[in-house]
Each structure stands twice: as C-alpha cells, then as structure tokens.
Amino acid sequence: MNPVVVSISPHSEMKELLDVLSREKSGRVVVMDQGKPVAMVTTRSVVLAYAEHGRELSRLKVKDLMSEDLVKVRLDDELQAVLRLMLNKEIGGVPVMDGDVLVGIFTERELIKFMAKQTYSGLVDSVMSTDLKVIDEHEDTLEASKMMQRYKVRRLPVISNGRLVGIITAADIVKSLARTLDPKPVLEAGTRNPVTVGRYETLMRIVRIMEERRIGTIPVVENEIVGIVTERDLLYATVTSGIS
C-alpha cells in the first residue's frame, strides 16, 4: 500500500486534473467530497473523454469523469483477496480504508514493487498478451485515444513498416494534454525505442526492469514484436498461478 494519496475535488476544472495526473506516477487520483472518497479518476478516464470530446475536453470537470461505483478495500484485507477484486472489477487500483478513514491506495504499481522482492519461476511467454493492438508512427494522440477507447487498452506499440519504434500510453497522452489539447504525433508524446525482452526471458527479470525503470509495459520482440507484458498481465498471473 502507498500511504501517499493524491486527491482532487469533484468540482475541479480539467486543467487542474491534467496537471495533477501528469505528475502522479500511479496514474490515478482519488476524488474527495466533504472529506470522504467518492470516486477514482485515472489517466484512462481522461483518454476516453478526450477520444469522445477532443479539444472540448477543457469544458469538462472532474465530476464528469467520475466512475459511478468506487471499489474500496480494508486495511486488513489479504493481498490475494485485493488482487482478485482488482482483476474481477478490471481496475488498476483501490483506495485502502481503515474504518471510514482513507489511509492509502493499492495499485498495480504496488504489486510490481512487492513482486520485485520475491523469488518465483516463470517465463515471459507464459503471461504475455499476444492479441496486439498497434498504431502507426504517423498517427496522433487523438487517434491513439480513440483506439484505446475502441480496444479497451492503455498502451499501444508504435509501428513503422512492421517494426517496433515506440510505445504510447494513456499516461503519455495525459502529459501531452497537460501542455496542449492539440493532437500531437504519437512518437512525440510517447517513448521511442522502448525497452524490450524476448519471449523466453524470466518473469523475475522483467518485474525488476519494471520496478527499476518505473514502467508498466514491456514489448516482447523476436525479430518483430510478438507480444506485450503489462502490469495487468502480471496481476492476472499472480491471481491464477500464485507466482508471487
């Protein structure tokens, strides 16, 4: 659990939300109303709104992006129970409550930190996602947002002539939007020449790479891109195989 919780008011303007999210490593903020957590807003929430509204995004407030039901956990809940809940609800983080008091937040990032300290077996090939959604290097952040909305993903490998040249994430798009609402080329907003691994690399190594570099995605390359490993893939592996 991370005891540092970044929060925002439901009445805050979009500019404030973009500024906060562009700095927040977890990619999510807790919406507080009258001292109580009422919702979670994430980088993906912003990307979905941008896909729908484009530059009109600036007219929205935090309350327009709030999820209807806030999933919370208790301070004394077991780790496996929290992970199963996140997987079943398809969410990347939950507020942690001690009674009625918000005391922290647990995210996929905290899972990576935990896994980086453990010993376990397994290869990338056993957990990677192979149903790849990719974007061409000539597309922009608005098109990337629409693709993320359409395919329900948070990351897109960037391809040039069939070759991996970069990756763009929901967090990258939010950072770009914090500077300007105008669409930007995906390679300008994203990461060029990202870290990659082979399909027979060990899970222990990629977890440690994610932890050291503070990244949530690693493309899997064998001459060409064949898959991708995300924090969500590792969450699923942890729940189903108990690799942690």
The string of DSSP letters for 168-222 reads EEHHHHHHHHHH-SS--BHHHHSEES---B-TTSBHHHHHHHHHHHT-SEEEEEE
Give the Cα separation of 126 and 232 in Å (integer): 14
Residue matched to tokens 């192979």: 130
* One-letter amino acid for residue 205 of the chain: R
What count of other Cβ atoms lies within 10 Å of the Cβ of residue 99? Answer: 8
The closest alpha carbon to 61, from 136, 8, 133, 139, belongs to 8
Give the Cα separation of 175 and 206 in Å (integer): 25
Domain limits, the chain: 124-241
Structural tokens at position 17: 């939300």
Task: For Cα atoms 161, 190, 17, give the angle at the middle one, nearest 5 degrees.
Answer: 150
* One-letter amino acid for residue 97 of the chain: M
Residue matched to tokens 């009422």: 38
Strands 7-8 and 28-33, how do they pair? parallel
Class of domain 124-241: alpha beta
Query: How many CA atoms are closer than 13 Å to the CA of 172, on its beta-carbon side?
Result: 28
What is the per-residue pLDDT for 243? 59
Q: Which ranges of the chain have pLDDT less than 70?
A: 68, 242-244
DSSP SS3 for 136:
strand
What is the per-residue pLDDT for 242? 61
Model's pTM, two decimal places? 0.93
What is the per-residue pLDDT for 195? 96
Strands 163-169 and 191-192, how do they pair? antiparallel
Structural tokens at position 131: 């149903």
Instruction: With beta carbons less than 8 A apart as the criterion, state whether 91 and 152 touch.
Output: no
What is the per-residue pLDDT for 120? 81
What is the per-residue pLDDT for 160? 96
What is the per-residue pLDDT for 68? 67
What is the per-residue pLDDT for 240? 84
